[in-house]
Amino acid sequence: MATSEEFTGNYHRNDADLAAWLAQTEEPALEPGLPIVDPHHHLWDDHRGRYLAEELLGDIAGGHDVRATIFIEAMSGYRADGPERLRPIGETLLVRRVAEAAPAARTRIAAATIGFADLTLGAAVDEVLDAHQEADAKRFRGIRHATPNDPAIGRHAYRQHPPGALRERSFREGFARLAQRGLSFDAWCYYPQLPDVADLAAAFPDATIVIDHVGGMLGVGAHGRAREESFARWRRHIRALAERPNVVVKLGGLGMLSLGLGYHRRAVPPGSEELARDWRPYVETCLAAFGPDRSMFESNFPVDRQSCGYTILWNAFKRLAAGLSAAEKTALFSGTAARVYRIDL
């Protein structure tokens, strides 16, 4: 079984050491005039370190034209007391405070928020969704209920759910309440669970489902030892999932330790050319299946920061999109995200 460091996304360096490591590889921003909506980042100030508006804006300052960002739940800022089901409201309030206190800048930090509500509550999840919308009616757009679990590496420590959680009756009952409100759902699971996402999308064809991190490809444990077979299986699942028109995919999360590329173990972090080369099979597979209008590049910062810098990450994405038309680039870098998360640019 893989170690927890291999798949949970834990940092291998403290904030100061990580910043010094990243500073060894610097590049100017490519295509600095191309507008970007970063549809996936986190904010926290806890045992994982500090990553709030100052740190995010510091990363963005590298030269890319990031117009807006979307916050995705990360179990940060939860209420310390009160009913367990309502504690995630603290995160929505935290993000609201960060967004409202952020210095005036070209980038709108957390223009939209994806929080957490336990859908296994069934119909009782209405109380939680009501509380999220009351906490920040301006930004709240939906939830992510992460369910990554694979027998080859065990459960992800982030959420403790058994395999098949997306098919459980209580989960589906809660999902129906979410869909009735027109709120979106971010799915994070490992790639062997993608058929469950496809089944969920078929059961709720009017709901918008966003699959995070190219569908949770794995390159550690047994998946890393049989990488070609794992890739072929992942590709089949991605193609099948793309047949559901209400599903869109995020192109990113490729710097997570779960992909097994080992950037974090190097003395010097990689540059964008190498990243583009390594990530091309995953990005091109998703693009061929979903198309630019159902795909969006994501930073997944600060998690992917353990593998590369923010400017370099977006340079890699721009290299991967180099052969596309202007309209296709607009969709990938801002249009799809703005439409899915309903923000006005």
Tell whether the model's pLDDT for residue 342 goes beyond 90: yes
Please give the Cα distance from 261 to 220 (Å, whole number).
Answer: 9
The proportion of the chain whose per-residue pLDDT surpasses 70, expressed as a percent, equals 94
Ramachandran sector of residue 151 (left: φ over 0; alpha: ψ -120 to 50; beta: rest): alpha
Average pLDDT of the segment spanning 320-341: 98
Model confidence band, residue 214 (pLDDT cutoffs 50, 70, 90) = very high
Q: 């098919």: which residue's tokens?
A: 167
SS3 301: strand
Average pLDDT of the segment spanning 15-39: 95
**What pLDDT score was predicted for residue 338?**
98
Q: 């974090």: which residue's tokens?
A: 264
Q: Output the pTM of the full model.
A: 0.95
What domains does the chain contain, in order, with CATH numbers? 4-340 (3.20.20.140)
Which pair of tokens denotes residue 119?
């859908």
CA angle 142, 8, 269 (to 5 degrees): 105
pLDDT digits (tens, 9 = 90+) for 65-114: 999 999 999 999 999 999 999 999 999 999 999 999 998 778 999 999 99
Average pLDDT of the segment spanning 3-17: 57
Beta strands in the chain (DSSP E): 35-41, 44-46, 49-51, 65-72, 108-115, 140-144, 149-150, 154-155, 184-187, 209-211, 247-251, 295-297
Q: 């080369």: which residue's tokens?
A: 277
- The burial class, CB within 10 Å (0-12 / 13-18 / 19+), for 245 is exposed
Model confidence band, residue 7 (pLDDT cutoffs 50, 70, 90) = very low
**What pLDDT score was predicted for residue 12?**
53
Tell whether the model's pLDDT for residue 181 goes beyond 60: yes
Tell whether the model's pLDDT for residue 3 goes beyond 70: no
The angle, 0 to 180 degrees and rounded to 10, between the axes of the packed helices 169-180 and 125-135 is 40
Average pLDDT of the segment spanning 251-279: 96
pLDDT digits (tens, 9 = 90+) for 121-169: 999 999 999 999 999 999 999 999 999 988 877 655 566 677 789 999 9
**What pLDDT score was predicted for residue 110?**
97
User: Do residues 145 and 172 touch, judged by C-beta distance below 8 A?
Assistant: no
Which pair of tokens denotes residue 207?
């709901």
DSSP summary character for residue 29:
P
Tell whether the model's pLDDT for residue 6 goes beyond 60: no
More confident residue, 240 or 17: 240
Backbone torsions φ then ψ of 10, nearest 5 degrees: -65, 145
In sequence order, the 6+-apart residues with CB closer than 8 A to the CB of 307 are: 255, 256, 261, 263, 264, 269, 270
**What pLDDT score was predicted for residue 151?**
80
Chain mean pLDDT for the chain = 93
Q: Which amino acid is at 45?
A: D
